[in-house]
Chain A
Amino acid sequence: MNKLTIGLMAIILWSACKFNAGDKKTLPIYGNRHPITKTVDGKTITDTIYQTISKFKTVNQYGDSINNKSLDGDIYIADFFFTTCPSICPVMHRNMLNVYNVFKGKGDIKIISYSIDPKHDSVPVLKKYADKLGISGNTWWFLQGKKDEIYKLSESYLVQKPQEDAKQQFIHDGSFLLVDKQKRVRGAYDGTDTKQVDQLIADIKTLQNEPDQSIAQ
C-alpha cells in the first residue's frame, strides 16, 4: 500500500514536471484521418492521411482571385461572417483585430474571412468594410464566393454549417479556425471570447515553431 502511494506520488510529480515543460507543446490535428500504405524506394511504408481544407475559389476585397493555392506556405486563421451581421460578428472582428495587429505584415500568417452573404457582400462592400475596420495590405482577406460552395466549404473547417432562419437572418458559427501549412485544422477558438483569442495568438506562435511547418506539401 505504502509502495503504491510512493509510486503514485512519483507519477504525479513526473507528470507535473512534464506539464511544466510547456515550450515543447504541440497542437492537435483535427478531423478524420486514415492510414495508407505506399511503396517508396522499394519499401512498403504506412503513412497517415489527415483531413485537409477543400479547394475553393473566391475573390478578395481587392477583386483578386483567391483560392486554396493562394494560401500555400501560410499558416492561416479562417472565420465565417457577413458585413451586415448585427450579432456576433462585431465582437469577433474586434477580437480578430488583436490577432491582425500581432501578425500583420509578418509574411507567413494570413487571416481569411469568408462572407456567408455573398449576394450582399460584393467586392466594393468588402473593401469598404475592410477600410472601415482599418485593414490594409494582404494579411487579412475578406472573401466573396458562391454561397453554396462557401456553405459546403464550412464542413471541411469542421464548423457548424451556416443556415438562414425564417427572417433571412444568417445563423453561423463564431469560431476562428487555425490552419497549418499542410492545410490541416490545428485549433478552433470561440471568436467572441477574448481569452480564447489570446490562446489562439499563443498557438499560432507554437505552430510557427513547429519543425514540420517549414515543409509545405
Chain B
Amino acid sequence: MKLKAIGSISVLILILFVLSCQSEENLEFERYYSNGAVVYQAHCQNCHGANGEGLSALIPPLTDSVFLKNNKNALACYVKFGLKGQISIKGKTFDDAMPANDLSPMEVAQVLTFAGNSFGNKLNTIDIQQVEAGLGKCK
C-alpha cells in the first residue's frame, strides 16, 4: 500500500517535471498558434477554407509548404497588403487579387504561426519581430 502511494506520487512528480520542461519557446508558440486560429477564422477562412483548401482555381490553398518556406519573409506583406499578379501554388496558376487585411503586426504574426503550422506546414513560430522586419521590406 505504502509502496503504491510512493509509486503514484513519483509518477505525478514525473508528469509535473515533464510539463514544466515545456520550454518558454514552446509556450510562446502555443500562444501565437491558438490566437492565430481565432484570427484565421475571422479573416481568412471564408476564402481559404477551414482546412486551408482554397477554392478551385479561384483561391489558392495554403498547403504549398515549399511556397510558404521560400516566401517566408514576404508572407506578412501578403496578409497585410494583399497580393496581386500571378502566383504558382502546387503547380497551379492563380491570378486573382487577394484583398488587404487591416491587422496589427501581432495579429499577422499569430495568423502566420497558425497557418504556417497547420494544413501540413511546419514553419515554426513566426514572431512579431520577424513580422515587423518583413513589413518594413514590403514591395
Contact B57 A132 (CB under 8 A): yes
Residue in chain B with minimal CB distance to A131: B57
Q: Are B59 and A90 in contact (CB under 8 A)?
A: yes
Chain A contacts for B46, CB-based, 8 A: 87-88, 90-91, 192
- Consensus secondary structure, chain B interface: loop
A87-B46, A91-B46 are contacts. A132–B58 as well, Cβ < 8 Å? Answer: yes
A134/B57 in contact, CB under 8 A: yes
Question: What's the Cα separation between A87 and B55 when bound, in Å?
Answer: 14
Counting CB contacts under 8 A, is A27 at the interface? no
* Cβ 8 A contact of A97, one of B45, B56, B57, B99: B56
A94 near B55 with CB under 8 A, answer yes
Q: A176-198 CB contact bits vs B (8 Å, 1 = yes)? A: 00000000000000001000000
Instruction: Tell me the smallest distance from the CB of B7 to a CB of chain A, in Å.
Output: 48
**Which chain B residues lie closer than 8 Å to A94 at the CB level?**
49, 55
Q: Does A137 contact B (CB under 8 A)?
A: no
B57 and A90 contacting across the interface, CB-CB below 8 Å: no
Cβ of A146 under 8 Å from chain B = no
Size of B's binding interface in residues, CB under 8 A: 11
Report the Cα distance A135→B40, complex, angstroms.
28
Within 8 A of A (CB), among B85-139: 96, 99
Judged by a CB distance under 8 angstroms, whether B74 is at the interface is no
Verify if A161 is at the interface (C-beta below 8 Å from B): no
Q: How far is the CA of A87 from the CA of B47 in the complex (A)?
A: 8
Within 8 Å of chain B (Cβ to Cβ): is A86?
yes
Looking at the assembled complex, report how far the CB atom of B20 sits from the nearest CB atom of chain A, in whole angstroms: 41
Closest-by-CB residue of B relative to A192 is B46
Closest to B47 in A: A90
**Separation of A87 and B43 alpha carbons in the complex (Å):** 9
Q: In the complex, which of the residues A88, A91, A93, A192 has the most CB atoms of chain B within 10 Å of its own CB atom? A: A91
Cα(A134)–Cα(B92), bound, Å: 13
**Chain A residues within 8 Å of B45, by CB:** 91
Q: A90-B55, A94-B55 are in contact. List 9 more A-B contacts (CB 8 A).
A: A86-B47, A87-B46, A90-B58, A90-B59, A91-B49, A93-B55, A94-B49, A132-B57, A134-B57
23 pairs, A vs B, C-beta closer than 8 Å:
A86-B47, A86-B99, A87-B46, A88-B46, A90-B58, A90-B59, A91-B45, A91-B49, A94-B49, A94-B55, A97-B55, A97-B56, A131-B57, A132-B56, A132-B57, A132-B58, A133-B55, A133-B56, A133-B57, A133-B58, A134-B56, A134-B57, A192-B46
